[in-house]
Structure 1
């Protein structure tokens, strides 16, 4: 007899690369948040730490190499349907990374990838995924 398990949150990792007053952001190509701007990232794979996942996803989505430094913060994401019921839940671990090399170029599930000054994130008219500007400011605060 099998027991039906209720849906569970999904663990994801995002790479927050802060360098010279800027962070790398991507425009997402695929759901959830297709067309919106946020940090490179994705699912944490089995046998992989969140730090390793952030580093891998960063490279896959932008071609940039960075060294994970520390866990910066966690972000709870609740995706709701039209009546407000939670359809999917994510726990995103933001990993602060030190830039090493590469020029951001969109790849994998990114439409665009670029450096954006932290002070301009909210003034560029980009559709931002929740908490992007807040997390960018937190990264700057940690590394300045």
Structure 2
């Protein structure tokens, strides 16, 4: 009997001047959807370190992990991910789509809510939580 277990992922939630760094998925699952840059957590790597690494690999943007925001379950046909959402502080760079990202750009919460961009599940919930946490941090 084979045992299937969820894969662990991490996303980098970067907020700069009221805008979030978003990446459009270039591969399945979720091809074409917009979400926070991220990917798999490697063995021996913290989710915070993975979020920063994946951010760099997908967008060339540098940031520092600040804290965990929440976790998101992504369950679909043939896949199950538990994703740690990591609030990150922008350091440098402008988004360039790399690795498995089809596009990358800064977007305001208003743009995310507009319906113009197809979003991955929980993007709005995580974005609103990030704004709340950033305001608390000052």
Instruction: Identify the TM-score tier after normalising by the shorter chain.
Output: over 0.9
1:27-42 correspondence runs (5 A): 27-42=24-39
Residue number among 13, 17, 27 corresponding to 1:16 in the alignment: 13
Deviations 1:115-139 (A, max 9, x none): 0001220205111000101111111
Q: Which runs of 5+ in 1 are unaligned?
A: 81-86
Give the alignment of 1:1-144 within 5 angstroms.
4-80=1-77, 87-144=78-135
Distance 2:115 2:16 in 1: 19
CA offsets, 1:75-122, max 9 Å, x none? 011113xxxxxx221100000000010001100000100000012202
Consecutive unaligned residues of structure 2, counting only runs of 5 or more, are: none
Q: 3-state DSSP class of the match of 1:135?
A: helix
Number of aligned residue pairs: give it: 135
| Partner Cα distance (2:60, 2:121) in 1 | 24
CA displacement 1:21-74 (0-9 Å, x = unmatched): 110001100111011110100000011000000000000000000000000000
